[in-house]
Amino acid sequence: MRYLAIDHGQKRTGLAISDASETLVSPHSVIATANPQELLRQILIVLDTEEIDAIVVGLPMNMDDTEGPRARQVRQFVLTLQQRTNKPVDLHDERLSSFEAEHLTGSLELTRKKKKKRLDAIAAAAILRSFFEQKNR
């Protein structure tokens, strides 16, 4: 199955995809919009063009295992996504995915602006890798 991972943000949303064997995960793109309808429209295009079978959305959890306002926003986004597509959607704890993405980009010789543009897609890839690791335990 091919998966699309979504690191949902208020201004930028990172996307990553897997291969059909669920072994390779690649950052895909960053959608820079605060408009929920435009975000959904662009995600639906990726689902179609990349022939995605299932979706994983990062759920922002607090370090004490509670959910805050951002988690509620993500859950609302997931409900909308489920209504607009027939793909299975899983939520996955995204704690520390941004930290991991920053660590991974630290060694890249990119300007701060270029790193920022790629960071959300790399965070989405970290979410998907973590999802596969947990799934295969």
pLDDT at 106: 52
pLDDT at 90: 96
Please answer whether residues 11 and 35 qualify as being in contact, where contact means their C-beta atoms are separated by less than 8 angstroms: no
Instruction: Spell out the alpha helix ranges (H) of the chain.
Output: 36-49, 69-84, 97-106, 112-135
Instruction: Return the pLDDT at 16.
Output: 97
pTM of the model: 0.86
pLDDT tens for each residue of the chain, 137 residues long: 999 999 999 999 999 999 999 999 999 999 999 999 999 999 999 999 999 999 999 999 887 888 888 899 999 999 999 999 989 999 998 865 555 545 555 555 555 555 566 788 888 999 999 999 888 77
Q: Where are the domains of the chain?
A: 3-135
Hey, how many other C-beta atoms are within 10 angstroms of the C-beta on 103? 12
**CA-CA distances (angstroms) from residue 73 to 16, 35, 59, 95?**
20, 13, 10, 16
Provide the pLDDT for residue 136.
Answer: 78
pLDDT at 63: 79
Residue 30, pLDDT score = 95
35 SS3 class = coil
Q: Can you tell me the distance from the alpha carbon of 41 to that of 25, in angstroms, rounded to the nearest whole number?
A: 23
* DSSP three-state, residue 91: strand
Q: Are 4 and 44 in contact (CB under 8 A)?
A: no
**In degrees rounded to 5, what are phi and psi of residue 106?**
-60, -30
Residues 6+ apart with CB under 8 A from 23: 132
Q: How many other CB atoms are found less than 10 A from the CB of residue 29?
A: 17
**CATH assignment of 3-135?**
3.30.420.140
